[in-house]
Structure 1
Amino acid sequence: MKKQPLLILVVFFILGIVFQDKMVLAGAAFYLVIGVCFAVLIAICFHSYFLHKTKVVLLALLFFGTGIILHHYNTSAEDVYSSLSKKETVTFKISQKLNSTEKYKKYEGIVQVGNANLNSILYIPKDVKELDFIHYYKGEAYITKPKAPEHDFQFNYVQYLKRKHIDEQIYFSKEIVSAERNDLTLADQLRQYRFTALNRIDKTPISEKTKEFLKGIILADRTEIDAGTVQDFNKSGLVHFLAISGTHIVVIFGMFYFLLIRFIPLQFRKYAVILSLVFIWLFAAFIGFGNSVLRSCIMLNVYFVFILLQRKPDLLHSLALSAFLILMGDTQQLFDVGFQLSFLAVLGIYWLNQPLLKLFPKQDHYLKKILFNTITISLSAQLATLPLVLYYFHQFSFISIIANFVIVPFSEIIIVFSFIMTAFVACGIDFGLLNKVYDFVIQILLKVIHWFAEVDFLFFENISMNGFEVLSVLMIVYLLRPVVLKFNFKYMMRLTMAIIAFLMIRIGSNIFENQKEEVLIYSLGKSKVFSVKRRDKVCFWISDMEDKAKILRYIINPYCSSRRVDYFEIKSLPSSSQKVVFRDQVYDLK
């Protein structure tokens, strides 16, 4: 507690959030928590020998209770939809553009229906022109709630939207009218300027894939990237390259700082740091405050506050403070996959980077230092995030390790080049030669990434991973540091025991799942799917083979990873089938 008090208190704050999310305290129990927190807060203000000895426990209890209270208010929301009819004429404004579907453009927006304001997902027909942030829109819409998943292994879209404080999906007809807004906030103006910059990129004479890459890597807009490119980044383990994260923020901060010190005298160098931090926050506001962006900005600010105050910077203090500030604003962010991966990656770098770096030859040259640090940082982050990647996405490619070693060293150059391109395009400056060079470089980059993604024999999917396995693998990563720093029998035995514990949990989980037999019926659109599972094998009967790719993605793969199935086969089910008889039991397919 003496070494990392803030980190430990934030851990208790997070435990309080998780406790409230699972237990859902309400009524008298919730008010009891408020009373206890208030009593603890008063007790901490008094001075006595007993309170001094128990102050650490009281502070931990206070942060735990605060997590419960804040998460209670973040999850308590009035259900406005129950008082609405399904078809309504609504007025709305958009707040964020989302990934499009085959039929619709998707937006997140605020919809006004009567006296109610709903934060909703908006589905706009694709032939309607692009919506902006400086207009109100009005149209007839069909209001509906998202459907809960039929089975436990399917993605819970209802819970996902609820954590984003969204309860409704609204589908609009083609008749949409607009009126210019007169209540624009600074945030709206920044979103609109970003929207203008994105449109100017669309008009730039470079290839479509390069345009989408440029919009994603600098302006955090990946809504129109084609499915093939996204799959290449996912399979090669380089999807983090597109997400605005710590690397982007640090590189852009370095650009601003490099330019400012050319004009500011040496004695005022600290003002160059302050101005660079201001520019970073403006940039973060311009592209939208994502989790990784916000975390990176806060950590960078805390780090340089330590520097400016001439105190030794502490990475864990910075990490804990950024997590606390983000969760104070919205406790639901804790359950966001990006939030978890972002913070776990930084913890992995803190825990493993220096020990791994000591295994390399002495960094007596700038290029060696850059190369070795790139490799160890990438490996540390991948090891730390691997358990969660397998838990959420059930896939991993060993080629991602090599791909990161090859691509990441050039990431700073790509980010700087992309930022300069974006700045020129946003300002309406067109350099034909620069466009051609950038297009050429990015096309080569995308081809290299595609080549890595095509190495299928190193790509594994439908990997099962439950919570206990995640914790056991994280323990292995934790125990890896002392083994790397000082290889001896004691540390090696601890690591070996952790590995054995993981294998026992995994084998036990596999045996438990393989003993089950299961018959299920699913629906995906108009397609019906019937499955029979016996031990580690399952057979799927599909009524419409044209939807095979979608069924494979949304039903078969999630089922296999959830039930730890090693072998599956797909058979055709007549589309006219109404019922299925299996083992003298009738299953209705209607």
Structure 2
Amino acid sequence: MQKQPLLILVIFFILGIVFQDKLVLTGFAFYSVIAMCLVVLVAVCFHSYFLHKIKVVLLAFLFFGTGIILHRYNTYSEANSVLINKKETVSFKISQKLNTTEKYKKYEGTAQAGNINFNSIFYVPKDGKELDFIHYYKTEAYITQPKAPQYDFQFDYTRYLKRKHIDYQIYISDEIVSAERNDLTLSDQLRQYRFTVLKKIDKTIMSRKSKEFLKGIILADRTEIDAVTVQDFNKSGLVHFLAISGTHIVVIFGMFYYLLIRFIPLQFRKYAVILSLVFIWLFAAFIGFGNSVLRSCIMLSVYFIFVMLQRKPDLLHSLALSAFFILIGDTQQLFDVGFQLSFLAVLGIYWLNQPLLKHFPKQDHYLKKLLFNTITISLSAQLATLPLVLYYFHQFSFISIIANFVIVPFSEIIIVFSFIMTAFVTCGIDFGLLNGVYDFVIQILLEMIHWFAETDLLFFENIPMNGFEMLSVSVVIYLLRSFILKFNFKNSMRLIMAIIVFLIVRTGSNVFENEKEEVLIYSLGKSKIFSIKSGEKICFWVSDMEDKVKVLRYIINPYCSSRRVDYFEIKSFSSSSQKVVFRDRIYDLK
């Protein structure tokens, strides 16, 4: 507690959030927690020998209780069922544009139907008008709720939306009437200005993929990137390069700071730091305060505050403060996959980077330092996030390690080049030659990433991983530090024992799932899909009219990774069939 008090207190705060999310304290129990927290808060303020001895315990309970209380007030109640499955006249405004699908443009916003106000996802036909942030809209629309998943292995979209305080989906097919808003906030004006810059980028003379890459890497807009490009970044393990993260914020901060020190006298150098910090916060507000952006800005600000106060910077203090500020604003962010991966990656770099560097030759040259740090930082971040990646996505590509070694060293150049291009476009400056050069560079970059993604030999999917396995793998990675720092019998045995525990847990999970036999019927759109599992094998019956790619993505792959199936078979049946015969048994598809 003496070495890392902030980190430990934030961990108790997080445990309080998880406790409330799982048990949902209400009524007398919840108000008892509030009363106890108030008593503890008063007790901490008093000075006595006994209270001083238990002060650590009191603070831990206070943060634990605060997590429970805040999460209780960040959890929305059930949606009003009066609106469900109805066509209503809806007035609405949008707050965010989401990824475009094959059929719809998707938006997030606030709507009003009758006297009821609510948050919703809006689906507008892909060929319909583009919506902005400075208008109110009114139309006839169909209001529904997202359906809960049929089975535990399917993605729970309903729960995902509830964590974002959204209960409804609105499908728009009629003509939309708009009226200019007169209640614009500063946040709305920033969103609209960003929207304008995005439209300017669309008008530049570059290939479509280069435009979408530019919008993604600087303005955090990936809504129009095609599915193939997104898949390439995911399979090559370079999706962090496209998302705005700590690297982007540090590079932009460094670029602005470099320019300022050329004009500010040496004795006022600290003002260059302050102005650079102000600039990255303005930039973060402009592109939207995503988790990784907010974390990076807070950590960078805390770091330089420590420097200017002549205190030794501490990465874990900065990380803890970042998590605490974000979760105070919205405790539901804890359950966001991006939030978890972002913080785990930083923890992994803190825990493993220096131990790994000690096994590399002396860094007596800038190129060596760049190369070795790129390798160790990438490896540390990937090792730390590996358990969570396998738990959520059930896939991993060894080519991602190589891809990061090749691409990441050039990331600073690409980010700076992209930022300059965005600045020129924003100011209305159009250099045809510069556009051509940027387009050429990005096309080569995307081709390289596509080549890495196409190396299927090193790509593995449907990797089973449950919560217990994830925790046991995390312990293995935690023990790697001492093993790397000092290779001896004690550290080796601790690591081996952790690996054995993981193998025992995994073997037990495999045996448990392989003994199951189950028959399931799924709904995908208007079609039915039927499956029978026996041991390690499963057979899926799919309508001959069904989209096999969607079936594989949304049903077969999640099922195989959840039930630890090594072999599956797909058979087709006529869409008019009502029954299926398998092993002398008749199954009704109704």
In the alignment, what sits opposite 1:137? 137
Check the 8 A contact 1:153/1:562 in 2, yes or no: yes
Question: In structure 1, the residue corresponding to 2:423 is in which secondary structure?
Answer: helix
In the alignment, what sits opposite 1:322? 322
Distance 1:83 1:441 in 2: 50
In the alignment, what sits opposite 2:63? 63
In the alignment, what sits opposite 2:158? 158
Check the 8 A contact 1:347/1:384 in 2, yes or no: yes
TM-score calculated relative to the size of structure 2: 0.98
The residue type paired with residue 142 of structure 1 is Y
Check the 8 A contact 2:92/2:137 in 1, yes or no: yes
> CA 1:548–1:78 in structure 2 vs 1: closer, same or farther (change >3 Å)?
closer
Distance 1:143 1:170 in 2: 5
Question: In structure 2, the residue corresponding to 1:131 is in which secondary structure?
Answer: coil
Question: In structure 1, the residue corresponding to 2:176 is in which secondary structure?
Answer: strand
Deviations 1:38-69 (A, max 9, x none): 11111111111111111100100110011011
The residue type paired with residue 115 of structure 2 is N
Check the 8 A contact 1:137/1:177 in 2, yes or no: yes
Structure 1: which 5+ residue stretches go unaligned? none
In the alignment, what sits opposite 2:99? 99
In the alignment, what sits opposite 2:386? 386
Question: What's the CA shift for 1:76?
Answer: 3.5
Question: What's the CA shift for 1:583?
Answer: 6.1
Distance 1:40 1:432 in 2: 66
Deviations 1:524-546 (A, max 9, x none): 01221110111111110001354
Check the 8 A contact 1:528/1:544 in 2, yes or no: no
In the alignment, what sits opposite 2:535? 535
Give 1:101-120 correspondences, 5 Å limit: 101-120=101-120
In the alignment, what sits opposite 1:287? 287
The residue type paired with residue 325 of structure 1 is F
In the alignment, what sits opposite 2:11? 11
Question: In structure 2, the residue corresponding to 1:79 is in which secondary structure?
Answer: coil
> CA 1:321–1:274 in structure 2 vs 1: closer, same or farther (change >3 Å)?
same
* 2:420 is the counterpart of 1:423: no
Structure 2: which 5+ residue stretches go unaligned? none
Deviations 1:408-436 (A, max 9, x none): 00000000000000111111110011001
In the alignment, what sits opposite 1:240? 240
Question: What's the CA shift for 1:550?
Answer: 0.3
The residue type paired with residue 455 of structure 2 is V
Question: What's the CA shift for 1:114?
Answer: 2.6
Deviations 1:327-386 (A, max 9, x none): 000000000000000000000000000000111000000111111111100000000000
Question: In structure 1, the residue corresponding to 2:172 is in which secondary structure?
Answer: strand
Check the 8 A contact 2:93/2:137 in 1, yes or no: yes
Check the 8 A contact 2:516/2:535 in 1, yes or no: yes
Question: In structure 1, the residue corresponding to 2:130 is in which secondary structure?
Answer: coil
In the alignment, what sits opposite 2:352? 352
Could you tell which deviates more after superposition, 575-584 or 18-27? 575-584
Question: In structure 2, the residue corresponding to 1:75 is in which secondary structure?
Answer: coil
Give 1:102-501 correspondences, 5 Å limit: 102-501=102-501
Check the 8 A contact 2:136/2:180 in 1, yes or no: yes
Deviations 1:55-97 (A, max 9, x none): 1001001100110111111114363343677111111111000
Question: In structure 1, the residue corresponding to 2:121 is in which secondary structure?
Answer: strand
In the alignment, what sits opposite 2:46? 46
Check the 8 A contact 2:85/2:144 in 1, yes or no: no
Check the 8 A contact 1:391/1:470 in 2, yes or no: yes
Check the 8 A contact 1:472/1:498 in 2, yes or no: yes
In the alignment, what sits opposite 2:506? 506
Distance 1:553 1:85 in 2: 27
Deviations 1:118-149 (A, max 9, x none): 11100111221111111111100111111001
Check the 8 A contact 2:146/2:169 in 1, yes or no: yes
The residue type paired with residue 264 of structure 1 is I
Percent identity (aligned): 83
Question: What's the CA shift for 1:35?
Answer: 1.1
Give 1:508-587 correspondences, 5 Å limit: 508-582=508-582, 587=587
Deviations 1:133-180 (A, max 9, x none): 111111001111110011111000000000000000011123101011
Check the 8 A contact 1:399/1:459 in 2, yes or no: yes
Distance 1:164 1:440 in 2: 39
Question: What's the CA shift for 1:450?
Answer: 0.6
Distance 1:260 1:284 in 2: 19
Distance 1:82 1:581 in 2: 42
Question: In structure 2, the residue corresponding to 1:120 is in which secondary structure?
Answer: strand
TM-score calculated relative to the size of structure 1: 0.98
Question: What's the CA shift for 1:104?
Answer: 1.1
Question: What's the CA shift for 1:577?
Answer: 1.1
Check the 8 A contact 1:128/1:174 in 2, yes or no: no
* 2:34 is the counterpart of 1:34: yes
> CA 1:83–1:550 in structure 2 vs 1: closer, same or farther (change >3 Å)?
closer
Question: What's the CA shift for 1:587?
Answer: 3.7
Could you tell which deviates more after superposition, 358-367 or 541-550? 541-550
The number of residues matched between the two structures is 590
Distance 1:278 1:78 in 2: 40
